[in-house]
Amino acid sequence: MTDKPDLISEAIEKLRARAERQGEAETGSEEKGPRLAVNAEKERLRRMEALLFAASEPLDIETLQTRLPAESDVEALLAALQEDYADRGVNLTEVGGRWRFETAPDLRGLLEEIREEPRKLSDAGLETLAIIAYHQPVTRAEIEEIRGVAVSKGTLDLLFELNWIRPRGRRRSPGRPVTYGTTNSFLQYFGLGGIADLPGQADLKAAGLLDARLPPGFEVPDPGLGGASDDEDPLDPEDDAHLFHVDFMEEDGETD
């Protein structure tokens, strides 16, 4: 008597084999998913690194977002890249709300060179710049009141030429005088993340830039308060262009 194939057993074996193949496929997919996610994150970091390295000026978050995949978490990527470069020869730093690579602070001496600056700020220029930085928004009349002497047009010319100051708006007072403030170029040149990073009174004393025995009531303004002002209107580029020219070019009474 010839044995007939057991159809039921064969069917069971086929089902078992199919289940095993399916399980192997699902396991492989689970392992592949995280690996793909990690690879995608590394690729976004590489792209951000390339963008920041090649940029001629610091980049803000909005610009980076437009250059990276839409699903990229730019702030998280910046934090990861900053941590990755923390102990390297160059660091990723934030300057005025923008990001750039710069030489690690302890290695800056390697890149120092002696060169003659084409134009240097006079004492009057430094004083004017400091007043604008700490008191902004500030008008020309207020600068002169703080300094005790008139501000020459040449001093303001040089600060504008260096792109360290800018017209901010118009004060809501008689005559509608122009107010001045600092620029991102000022922050970048002096290595500041923001105006709030300017040294305070205690820092200036510690650096020997202020006499330890100051006159009663003397205070250095808090640079962190130099933001928007309730008594200031922003400049209208079109309507105020000729008025600003008149304000800026008017004759000086006394020079520095």
| CATH number for the domain that contains residue 69 | 1.10.10.10
Assess if residue 59 is contained within a domain.
yes
The region of weakest confidence among 1-5, 111-115, 169-173 is 1-5
3-state secondary structure of 90: strand
Predicted confidence band at 241 (pLDDT cuts at 50, 70, 90)?
A: very low
Structural domain total, the chain:
2
Tell me, yes or no, whether 92 and 182 share the same domain: no
The DSSP result for 121-154, as a single string, is --HHHHHHHHHHHHH-SEEHHHHHHHHSSPPPHH
The amino acid that residue 220 corresponds to is: V
The region of weakest confidence among 95-109, 121-135, 241-255 is 241-255
φ/ψ of residue 145, rounded to 5: -65, -40
pLDDT at 224 over 50: yes
Q: Give the helix ranges, DSSP H, for the chain.
A: 7-54, 61-67, 74-84, 123-135, 140-147, 153-161, 184-189, 201-206, 241-249
DSSP state of 120: -
Last residue within a domain, chosen from 65, 80, 109? 109
pLDDT at 82 over 80: yes
The region of weakest confidence among 59-63, 147-151, 183-187, 245-249 is 245-249
- Which pTM value belongs to this model? 0.52
Tell me, yes or no, whether 134 and 64 share the same domain: no
H or E stretch covering 225: none
Tell me, yes or no, whether 135 and 80 share the same domain: no
Residue-level pLDDT at 159: 93
Tell me, yes or no, whether 190 and 163 share the same domain: yes
**Residue 62's domain spans which residues?**
30-109
Last residue within a domain, chosen from 85, 109, 133? 109
168 within 8 A of 234, measured Cβ to Cβ: yes
Assess if residue 256 is contained within a domain.
no
255 within 8 A of 150, measured Cβ to Cβ: yes
Using CA atoms, how far apart are residues 17 and 108, in angstroms rounded to an integer?
Answer: 66
Predicted confidence band at 1 (pLDDT cuts at 50, 70, 90)?
A: very low
